[in-house]
A and B are shown apart, each in its own frame.
Chain A
Amino acid sequence: MAPSLVGNRLMVVTLKNLTVAYDGHPAIHHLNGVFAGGSLTAIIGPNGAGKSTLIKALAGLTQPSEGMIDRGDLQAGEIAYLPQIHELDKSFAISILDLVMMGCIEKAGMFQGFGPDMIAAAENALATVGLEGFADRALNTLSAGQFQRALFARTIIQDAKLILLDEPFNAVDGKTVGDLLNIIRGWHQQGKTVIAVLHDMRQVRENFPEALLLARQCIGWGNTDKVLTEANMAKAMSMSENWDEEAAICEVSTA
């Protein structure tokens, strides 16, 4: 572990009374807490619990309706967001290398050329995710698992300090999950902060030291074993998926 980064206060991401609402109805409700620098956290919860909403809010893609996210000294370019793969068009006419090289735009900017070192780094990243020799293949020749691997390669290249993964193991076979978990572990060891939305409880217990159990509000946050108790799980599952059309205005104060 790189001690200079772990526990570095500047890398802390703090949620202060965070509420994100769609059309007035909260998807995340009065969330308070801290993602420590260098922590590895899984966000779990039932459908409609606000997991993706929280990840998008952390990435700056959704604006809070109330409260705020304090990203410390993190700049926009130091945050990498990996979307769910179905949000992307796999028939898009670019090569795998083109996709991975997108991760360089923070360094190269929008108008400069890509140096040979950047291309070498991209090819290395492809090798790391097990896609060696795929650089020139067209995107639409990839399987879902290979596409997810390519997106991980892009995220590797971004070399961000905060990495946000939205259901990274959807439509991915068991072997790929193992490989991608290794990459996540590597990021953790490099001292990066990693936050991932996940479904598989066993996966979380075995690989993620911290967990945030969400059911619109926080049910539990901290050490995974302490959060994923049966009582907590039952509480999360009892969350009503539908919102109340007649709901009154929320009066919880901004403590």
Chain B
Amino acid sequence: MMQDYFLSAFSDPAMRKALVACLALSFSFAPIGMILIFRRMSLVGDSLSHAILPGTALGYVSAGVMSIGLMMLGGMITGLLVVFFSTLVTRNTNQKEDTSFATFYVISTAIGILLISMKGGDEEVVHMLFGEVDAIDAKTLLLVMAIVSFSMVTMAIIYRPLIIECFDPVFMRATGFRGGLYHHLFLSLAVLNLVAGFRALGTLMAMGLMLLPVASARFWANNIGPILVISVIIAIFSCTLGLIISHHMHLPPGAAIVLIAGGFYLVSLSFGNNDSLRKKWLKPRHLRG
């Protein structure tokens, strides 16, 4: 009975494709979300997810139909444009990164809303923002897998400079390495991944799957390796459970997945063994030394 509830959700081929796409994203989202959190850029990441909206809308408006290629391309271009202008302002003025990202993403989002309202119906808007399982066809799945593979390989290559740039950017500069280069490469990867996630999860919800598992894992582990492993596991469970629930209850998949991840976060926040509320409020007996 219970088994049936879980398995029947994936009797639909579209659901199976959505599951594979989300599981793949679980792997590349973890390291990217981790760097965003380490750099205190969680909200910058959030603004990136808004930044891709006008591009996807433009792709949609110009193609007339939900053309996945055009929408992804558009999303990537506007996302990268926002990254470019924001870092330009941050590097050349005293305004902080969060402010410059916020200014450019609201402009970007406003353009996106105008474009969608010119063309689409309400349903399309909802799908764009919150994702749509049926949209994951074989071509989209291939694209998602390609982006995930590319990101993971690239992250593995630039892992060391990226972590050092995160922790001690001044050290990078003082030793003569170009930390900014790796940071930009990373931001581009973040945009690429949000674009990959937007069809299944929606532009707004993709960020949730990027940040919540890592934020949860931080309550269980104190080192990058374990944090990544735990994040991926939480993301995989969130995707699978979220998709099953969204299938049976006819909910938007992105929202269902993010809510499950949110549940994991609340549990971790309360009961984690590192810095959690349990540790704070129920003071454990101290050790001898």
Which positions in A face B, CB cutoff 8 Å?
A: 59-61, 75-77, 79-81, 83, 87-89, 92-95, 98-99, 102, 105-106, 110-111, 138, 140, 158
Report the bound CA distance from A190 to B218 in whole Å: 43
Asked if B174 is an interface residue, CB under 8 A from chain A, the answer is: yes
Query: Which residues does chain B contribute within 8 Å of A92, judged by CB atoms?
Result: 38, 166-167
Instruction: List 7 tightest A-B contacts by C-beta distance, closest first.
Output: A76-B176, A138-B222, A81-B174, A110-B161, A59-B174, A92-B167, A110-B160
Q: Is the CB of A61 within 8 A of B174?
A: yes
User: Shortest beta-carbon distance, A78 to chain B, in Å?
Assistant: 10
Q: Which residue of B lies closest to A80 (CB)?
A: B174
- Residues in A whose Cβ lies below 8 Å from that of B157: 111
Q: Are A93 and B160 in contact (CB under 8 A)?
A: no
A102 with B164: CB separation less than 8 A? yes
Query: Chain B, 110-135, contact with A by CB distance < 8 Å: what is the 0/1 string?
Result: 00000000000000000000000000
Q: Which residues of B contact A106 (CB under 8 A)?
A: 175
Contacts of A75 in B (CB 8 A): 176
Q: Give A140 to B119 CA distance when docked, in angstroms.
A: 52
| With A94-B163, A94-B224, A111-B157: A81-B38 Cβ-Cβ less than 8 Å | no
Least CB distance from B164 to A in Å reads: 6
B161 touches A60 (CB 8 A): no
16 sampled A-B residue pairs with Cβ under 8 A: A61-B170, A61-B173, A76-B175, A79-B174, A83-B170, A83-B171, A92-B38, A93-B38, A93-B222, A93-B224, A94-B223, A99-B167, A105-B175, A105-B177, A110-B158, A110-B161
**Given contact pairs A60-B173, A60-B176, A61-B170, a sample of 20 additional A-B residue pairs in the complex whose CB atoms are under 8 Å apart:** A59-B174, A61-B173, A76-B176, A77-B175, A77-B176, A83-B168, A88-B168, A92-B167, A93-B222, A93-B223, A94-B163, A94-B167, A99-B167, A102-B167, A102-B171, A110-B158, A110-B161, A111-B157, A111-B160, A138-B223
A81 touching B176, Cβ below 8 Å: no
Flag if B223 contacts A88 (CB, 8 Å): no
- Cα(A75)–Cα(B227), bound, Å: 37
Determine chain B's interface SS by DSSP, over half rule: helix
Cβ–Cβ < 8 Å partners of B158 in chain A: 110
1/0 contact trace for B135-177 toward A, CB 8 Å?
Answer: 0000000000000000000000110110110111011011111
B66 within 8 A of A: no
B221 within 8 A of A: yes
Option from A87, A89, A95 in Cβ contact (under 8 Å) with B170: A87
Binding site for A on B (CB under 8 A): 38, 157-158, 160-161, 163-164, 166-168, 170-171, 173-177, 218, 221-224, 227
| Closest partner residue, chain A, to B222 (CB atom) | A138
CB–CB B177/A93 < 8 A: no
B173 contact set on A, CB distance < 8 A: 60-61
Contact A95 B223 (CB under 8 A): yes
Q: How far apart are the CA atoms of A62 and B141 in the complex, in Å?
A: 48
CA separation between A230 and B269, bound complex, in Å?
A: 57
Q: Please, which residues of chain A bring their CB within 8 A of the CB of B163?
A: 94, 98
| Distance of A79 Cα from B171 Cα, bound (Å) | 11
**Chain A positions within 8 Å of B177 at CB level:** 105, 110
User: Which residue of B160, B164, B168, B175 has the most chain A CB atoms within 10 A of its CB atom?
Assistant: B175
* B218 contacts across to A, CB distance below 8 A: 93
A89 CB contacts on chain B under 8 angstroms: 167
A76 to B224, CA, bound (A): 29
Most buried by B among A79, A93, A102, A110: A93
**B221 / chain A contacts, CB cutoff of 8 Å:** 93
